[in-house]
Structure 1
């Protein structure tokens, strides 16, 4: 088996995923696990098969061990404060994330506290969060090297603030030190639109710059120690630790005269991180970091050869950007459902300047106690930031808008690539596949029969009425933000916006049914569907409650998967999973 670490890593990832899926769907979990075992038993040598099964079990157990811990019976808790705002904090208890509320006004980020309180279990698997600790009082707090690093980061913010102003300092803290808490929503949107949001995550770009700088005047061992301290100082995010582990493997392989393999190093980094934080397997930041690195390893040299006519620096930048996007873009489309078309402009013109900021800011960090040198560096930083500000303003104006897509459209776009591959290999019949897929999507989105979806929105909720290409969103608050409208158009294929914030809405469907959405009251929306023939109410939806009225199985309506023997029966359904269609004088309610 060539490069066995890759297979061991895949086994561990599938083990973690199976542990997560088991919490929600036993049948799907068994199907995935069985398929995996059949594949490895049929394709791998016996000794490697046993090792891969071992790593699968390791991933499965590590995920369960992380979340299956009982905190309810404790009277006091020792917690490290990771992030904090005025009302709540996120802490680390025995390496596990928990929310913290209550009497925490006097605690600071980085501190290790012993607190008395009540813990309520409420697991959020995507964030590795076990629940919320409501603190009654704090027994004591401890300071150590980590708390001093957090305190030093606050002090360096103040120093930059007095020299560079609030806006520039916020960008420096984000780009150079990974602290995005000071960054405004407008700046975050600019980073997002220009496709350079990765610059505010301390990752390979930052660690390579830092490590090369350290190696120029320190030996390897001390450079590794200082780089590890820098990783903790910047928050020890998944991308930071991934790049640190890969750099260490690279440097040690050279020292011990071993060949460095990027794929094996990437696999080792993933396995180490999943052992410590198994929830990373469903973490978007973790996935994007590894997919981008894998894309660079696979396609950078090939793209560089294809673009050989470009000047070297431009070739390098474009090849690096496109190879990083090759695998991360499909993942972004499926998870975040948006894509920045202006990513090339941002990477070509802004990333080089931000690289200079990373270098200057870290030199300023080291020399902050020498005031004259710090002042000179701040002057240089200010000049570069002025250039970045002007460049950002110009690029934001000329860059194409963000593209938002629904899942069905994403599937169609991504399916074009395998169709192209098959056609290129001589399977001519696949040239009809995009046409068939396109027609299927058009039929799916046209909605020949009326349909209503209830959706959760940024500041409330709403209903989408769909019928023959008309997709009307009625929200319980005014949507004035063009960015939010664009996002909703992409995600939900909406072409009209209305609000029942100030008035009732009545929509007649197929001259048979009246959809009545009264003026919004509070955060919950209300909807009623009435038959125009006899003015009888078919469905009432109020908040999280779905009430069925005037239901008669034989004469009027059919409701699937619902016991309709009793009139006016109530049932709880999740908000996001309520769909119904009116078809052949019958109301069909779908549950998922």
Structure 2
């Protein structure tokens, strides 16, 4: 067989990136949903065959196998009794750490450690894999100490000092906001600030993105040569916790500058594909994370649509035209993700990105300047004063905009999937597949059938609520009164219930409330729908564990229960 046609493929790196990512999807569903795994793989191979040739299909198949091997190696790493662990999150007792990009649940006292530090732990490891989060198991801590020689620890201490000193000058709430804008979202961030950012569609300002990385690089490029500026920017990426969005931005920035150095034309899709491949090698589970999807979705939207939108808006002033085109193009692929993951949609995002992002960029630049001046007190105090006034200005602008713009819309995830079918139909139509326009219609029919629910369904929602669906009637039940109206919108429910004695589902089948859990009665049998950390142990109850996501959905078929 001849492989001469391999060289005729345009952007083979794009196919390689997509193949690696789909290999992770295949590996994820291989044991839990074999048919879905093979359907995903089949679509990949069919797409490659129709687009290219049989020789390249064989090449893609080899890459696919390599991707599966990388996944197997990632989740089967040997963990020793003594390990260096990077602390990512701390909780009241324990937290989440990482060993060579593999996440582990830490059980033990971490109060003497800071997030971002590298520690040396001695303990016992128990394998427990979660392929969607990159978790490989649990680690019970027996002994622990900080690895003071680690660059992660040194940078974490700089970050902690920065936050503490800034807090003295401008207060806790504003220091948390500046730290979140500069290094990525902090747990100490005020919930109202986070809501406002979501409401105006600028929540991405609290997760280090291409904008952050680009600004940091430009700041240092004015002071140093490109190589030094790239190195300092990479140190900044480490300080942010090496989030997928910041790593993606740095790789693309590096490729663009490398192309300029060697006088080669930079291809944005190629750079995006290379960053996806590198991130896959580091963390094969990345395809399941929202940060990865939002970062790549926004960047792809800008690459594909920004120039065209900019040209169509030629009548607008340059600043307004460029701001609107970037904002719209970035949201083309991110809107469905936000609806699917959060059931939220910001109507005010264009206004927010045009007005608020420039102010946030000023705060970011001042935040970087504060880090550089942390050892020079009078400069640190001066820039703290500037940043204090900038935040006051930001607060006033957001307060005024809240009076003029609509709040967040709460939508069911089906709207997000419908939007995706519209994108696919548009792509197929442009490619000459006229019947592709039937795809959204087919999805609407599917949703109508699904909403009707021939058999009763009890669906667990991530907000700690359940949805009862049967023959067109949909009731959402929650332990929180304040969330009822939002949950009704998110679940397409007709009715929301907070307090009740009994809800009839069908003959010989009803639901009762007991503490924070619910009891399902089905033809004389009792099932405890566990919604809280406390579960029933009585022998008369069957335990259905919603809390730990052992079960996400129950379908009632006659006298039997089908778990999903």
Shorter-chain TM-score bucket reads 0.7 to 0.9
Asked if 1:373 is matched to 2:391, the reply is no
Query: How many angstroms does 1:492 deviate by?
Result: 1.7
User: Counterpart in 2 of 1:328?
Assistant: 334
| Structure-2 separation of matches of 1:60 and 1:437 | 31
Aligned counterpart in structure 2 of residue 9 of structure 1, from 2, 14, 17: 17
SS at match of 1:525: strand
Q: CA contact under 8 A between 2:30 and 2:37: conserved in structure 1?
A: yes
Aligned counterpart in structure 2 of residue 309 of structure 1, from 305, 312, 315: 315
Query: How many angstroms does 1:381 deviate by?
Result: 1.0
> Which moved further from structure 2: 307-316 or 291-300?
307-316
User: Counterpart in 2 of 1:540?
Assistant: 526
| Structure-2 separation of matches of 1:179 and 1:443 | 40
Change (3 A) 1:37 1:409: closer
Aligned counterpart in structure 1 of residue 198 of structure 2, from 185, 192, 210: 192
User: Counterpart in 2 of 1:550?
Assistant: none
SS at match of 1:518: strand
Query: How many angstroms does 1:309 deviate by?
Result: 1.3
User: Counterpart in 1 of 2:343?
Assistant: 337
Gaps of 5+ in 2: 1-8, 532-539
| Structure-2 separation of matches of 1:266 and 1:436 | 33
User: Counterpart in 2 of 1:492?
Assistant: 491
Query: How many angstroms does 1:256 deviate by?
Result: 0.5
| Structure-1 separation of matches of 2:48 and 2:431 | 28
SS at match of 2:334: helix
Query: How many angstroms does 1:69 deviate by?
Result: 2.2
Asked if 1:520 is matched to 2:524, the reply is no
| Structure-2 separation of matches of 1:200 and 1:463 | 32
Change (3 A) 1:216 1:119: same
Query: How many angstroms does 1:51 deviate by?
Result: 4.0
User: Counterpart in 2 of 1:259?
Assistant: 265
> Which moved further from structure 2: 487-496 or 223-232?
487-496
Q: CA contact under 8 A between 1:454 and 1:575: conserved in structure 2?
A: no
| Structure-2 separation of matches of 1:85 and 1:429 | 52
Query: How many angstroms does 1:403 deviate by?
Result: 2.5
| 1:382-531 equivalence runs, <5 A | 382-416=388-422, 441-442=447-448, 444-446=450-452, 451-456=456-461, 458=463, 460-462=464-466, 464=468, 466=470, 468=472, 470-475=473-478, 477=479, 479-481=480-482, 484-500=483-499, 504-507=501-504, 513=507, 516-521=510-515, 523-529=516-522
SS at match of 1:195: coil
Aligned counterpart in structure 2 of residue 245 of structure 1, from 222, 246, 251: 251
Query: How many angstroms does 1:83 deviate by?
Result: 3.1
After TM superposition, the score normalised by the length of structure 2 is 0.87
Change (3 A) 1:9 1:427: closer
Asked if 1:108 is matched to 2:108, the reply is no
SS at match of 2:258: helix
Change (3 A) 1:304 1:161: same
Query: How many angstroms does 1:222 deviate by?
Result: 0.6
Query: How many angstroms does 1:94 deviate by?
Result: 3.1
User: Counterpart in 2 of 1:202?
Assistant: 208
| Structure-2 separation of matches of 1:268 and 1:427 | 30
| Structure-2 separation of matches of 1:571 and 1:199 | 42
Deviation per CA, 1:496-526, whole angstroms, max 9, x where unpaired? 22234xx5225485xxx365433423x4310
Query: How many angstroms does 1:414 deviate by?
Result: 4.5
User: Counterpart in 1 of 2:537?
Assistant: none
Change (3 A) 1:435 1:499: same
CA RMSD of superposed structures (Å): 3.2
Change (3 A) 1:316 1:569: closer
Q: CA contact under 8 A between 1:112 and 1:143: conserved in structure 2?
A: no
| Structure-2 separation of matches of 1:260 and 1:424 | 26
Deviation per CA, 1:259-306, whole angstroms, max 9, x where unpaired? 011000111111111111111121111111011101000000100111
User: Counterpart in 2 of 1:30?
Assistant: 38
Aligned counterpart in structure 2 of residue 357 of structure 1, from 363, 376, 396: 363
Change (3 A) 1:505 1:244: same
Larger radius of gyration: 1
Deviation per CA, 1:352-386, whole angstroms, max 9, x where unpaired? 10011111111111012222222221111111111
Change (3 A) 1:408 1:457: closer
Aligned length: 544
Deviation per CA, 1:454-483, whole angstroms, max 9, x where unpaired? 42453x444525455x433333x2x232xx
Change (3 A) 1:250 1:519: closer
| Structure-2 separation of matches of 1:232 and 1:279 | 20
Q: CA contact under 8 A between 1:120 and 1:133: conserved in structure 2?
A: yes
Aligned counterpart in structure 2 of residue 63 of structure 1, from 68, 71, 77: 71
Change (3 A) 1:520 1:355: same
| Structure-2 separation of matches of 1:209 and 1:344 | 21
User: Counterpart in 1 of 2:536?
Assistant: none
| Structure-2 separation of matches of 1:195 and 1:415 | 23
Asked if 1:53 is matched to 2:29, the reply is no
User: Counterpart in 1 of 2:556?
Assistant: 580
Asked if 1:291 is matched to 2:291, the reply is no
